[in-house]
Chain A
């Protein structure tokens, strides 16, 4: 019974999002992965969040060498599914539309991805640092694959900025 329902969810999404997405797959019973271009990402995620009353779980930023992949995890609780919207933001243009300007749930995670991986979220209302210290050097992104601990020495810290 549940299986049949989930096939429907998949078909429904395929039909509704046909022109906006690159591909859609369902590797497991309760997981759907949708691939979109960075330009379309905000639009698709907002649509899913509002239309299907999805819960926003979180977003993951992954350093994929050619760019930063951002995955928005949305849970559709009425159908017991997690819908993952993936998009690859290339290193040449690390910019993506902010969803946080409209939906507050996305604000903190966008701040986190911004400081940890260096993706710029256009239109974010409050782009301060969330987890890193204010004195942490600018232009260093700890969650990138090429970041090493030795990249940041004590001299790099700008204590004036943090007021210490």
Chain B
């Protein structure tokens, strides 16, 4: 059988970030896949070696716009691990609130995009509408919708006042109902079940051997969650559970993300209620001794890992950053084989990849005919498949405007 290579990229058709996938296909089936990254390599690790310990949080915050708290958080944890200092309770809880708000808005962003991609523009509009409220809460609490600049080694930079806490609590309680409505609407829809179930299955064994992280591993039945496995002091007294799904397909990963939103809402509520009156928000750190430390934190996409080494100067000797997508991208080699081209763009988006953290799809025929699929073509393939399922289920597919 002749093999075709189809390029998908240089921009991901769904998440519009630079990456390049080469799909080796036989007819409509993908037989192998090759990922090329590096289009967006900015040399942050090298740059970090010429920044002072206090400047690095601002730098790592800019690794990614969506997980702009997870990187500073992991970095601060690494430095705190190096020093071995205690973080005040109030600072811990403020960290929990900011981090969980970020998780909700990141998951809703993904749900919206996934909805758009399978032809459910209503899901897209809905999810992003609710995400807006979360961003408003972020703005009220931290001063920014993204890039909060809240963290520093030893604690947080800004405190919440009474008015902010009340506002946050009120709005987050309001959010539970609409997000429940959205979740139920998605989970009850027979078309979405047919469209997403059994697609791009990552087996438990593969999830372990590729060390998949976050919702990608939890969707495959591997219950790895750093918040649970290595809890910060702030997480210890909060009641929440790790969401695990067993099937490993795109649907499971979506379910994990949707249900995690509720855990996050509950955690934010508990943290805001528990927030002690006043008190210090940072530990007094005068100097960074020689040594090394690892910090890890569960970003919306999985575990972020930072390693720092100090030679006793005011700058890190080495600062290693590992974003979750770095571990999750190679899993496509396992999950995309045997799937159709219409599904691959969806599978590759199912890990919620973040290329600015880590870093395009070419479909190549086995007789070396290269065919470039544009965003519209892929979107059309994917939407058509949903509409075919709708027809089989006796539903009338909506008119779909490809120009959106």
Within 8 Å by CB of A104, from B209, B229, B296, B309, lies B209
Q: Is the Cβ of B229 less than 8 Å from the Cβ of A75?
A: yes
Contact A28 B211 (CB under 8 A): no
The answer on a CB contact under 8 Å between B330 and A77 is: no
A71 in the interface (beta carbon within 8 A):
yes
Residues of B within 8 A of A (CB): 37-38, 41, 43, 45-46, 81, 84, 208-211, 213, 224, 229-230, 291-294, 296, 303, 305, 307, 309, 317-318, 320, 322, 326-327, 329-330, 333, 359
Known: A55-B303, A105-B327. 4 other contacts (CB 8 A): A58-B320, A80-B230, A105-B209, A143-B46
Residue of B41, B84, B224, B326 touching A58 (CB-CB under 8 A): B326
9 nearest interchain CB pairs?
A58-B322, A105-B211, A60-B320, A131-B38, A56-B211, A77-B229, A131-B41, A62-B318, A57-B305
Given contacts A107-B330, A132-B38, contact A73 B46 (CB under 8 A): no
CB A133 to nearest CB in B, in angstroms, measures 7
How far does the alpha carbon of A95 sit from the alpha carbon of B213 in the complex, in Å?
29
When chains A and B are docked, how far (Å) is the Cα of A19 from the Cα of B208? 28
For the complex, give the distance between the alpha carbons of A104 and B84 in Å.
34
Write 11 A-B pairs (CB below 8 A) sorted by A numbering. A28-B81, A28-B84, A57-B294, A62-B317, A75-B303, A104-B330, A105-B209, A108-B329, A131-B37, A131-B41, A143-B46
The answer to whether A80 and B41 touch across the interface, beta carbons within 8 angstroms, is: no
Given contacts A58-B320, A60-B320, A80-B230, contact A142 B43 (CB under 8 A): yes
Residues of chain B within 8 A of A71, CB atoms compared: 307
Q: How far is the CA of A156 from the CA of B276 in the complex (A)?
A: 59
Q: What's the Cα separation between A80 and B320 when bound, in Å?
A: 21
Interface residues on A, range: 20 to 34
Q: How far is the CB of B208 from chain A (nearest CB, A)?
A: 7
Tell yes or no: A26 within 8 A of B by CB.
no
CB-based nearest B residue for A129: B38
Interface residue from A63, A108, A129 paired with B330 (Cβ < 8 Å):
A108
Of B45, B81, B303, B309, the residue contacting A57 (CB under 8 A) is: B303
In the assembled complex, the Cα of A131 lies from the Cα of B359 at a distance in Å of 8
**Is A73's CB under 8 angstroms from B327's CB?**
no
Least CB distance, A143 to chain B, in whole angstroms: 6
Q: Does A27 contact B (CB under 8 A)?
A: yes
Instruction: List A residues at the B interface (Cβ < 8 Å).
Output: 27-28, 30-31, 33, 53, 55-58, 60, 62-63, 71, 73, 75, 77, 80, 82, 84, 103-105, 107-109, 129-133, 142-143
Contacts of B38 in A (CB 8 A): 129-133
Q: Which of B84, B291, B305, B333 contacts A73 (CB 8 A)?
A: B305
In this complex, what residue of A is CB-closest to B40?
A131
Query: Please, which residues of chain B bring their CB within 8 A of the CB of A131?
Result: 37-38, 41, 359
B213 partner residues in chain A, CB cutoff 8 A? 55
User: Are A30 and B320 closer than 8 Å at their CB atoms?
Assistant: no
- A132 proximity list for chain B (CB < 8 A): 38, 41
Return B357 CB to nearest CB of chain A, in Å: 12
Task: Tell me whether B294 and A84 are in contact (CB under 8 A).
Answer: yes
Contacts of A84 in B (CB 8 A): 294
Nearest opposing residue in chain B for A86, CB measure? B292
Q: Is the pair A30, B230 in contact by a Cβ cutoff of 8 Å?
A: yes
A53 to B211, CA, bound (A): 10
Within the complex, what minimum Cβ distance (angstroms) separates B315 from chain A?
12
Q: Are A73 and B307 also in contact (CB < 8 A) when A58-B320, A142-B43 are?
A: yes
A77 in contact with B46 given A57-B296, A62-B318, A107-B330 (CB within 8 Å)? no
Q: With both chains docked as a complex, state the minimum distance between the C-beta of B73 and any C-beta of chain A, in angstroms.
A: 16
- Min CB distance B323 to A, Å, is 10
Contacts of A80 in B (CB 8 A): 229-230
C-alpha gap A62/B46 in the complex (Å): 11
**Which residues in B have their C-beta under 8 angstroms from that of A63?**
318
Q: B13 to chain A: closest CB distance in Å?
A: 22
Which B residues touch A77, using CB under 8 A?
Answer: 224, 229
**Which residues of chain A are near B333, meaning CB under 8 Å?**
104
Closest residue on chain B to residue A27 by CB atoms: B291
In the complex, chain B residues whose CB is within 8 Å of the CB of A107: 330
B279 → chain A, closest Cβ, in Å? Answer: 25
Query: A130 vs B359: C-alpha distance in the bound complex, in angstroms?
Result: 10
Q: Smallest Cβ distance from A79 to chain B, in angstroms?
A: 9
Query: With the chains together, A150 CA to B41 CA distance in Å?
Result: 18
User: Is B294 a contact partner of A82 (Cβ separation < 8 A)?
Assistant: yes
Complex Cα distance A53/B307, Å? 22
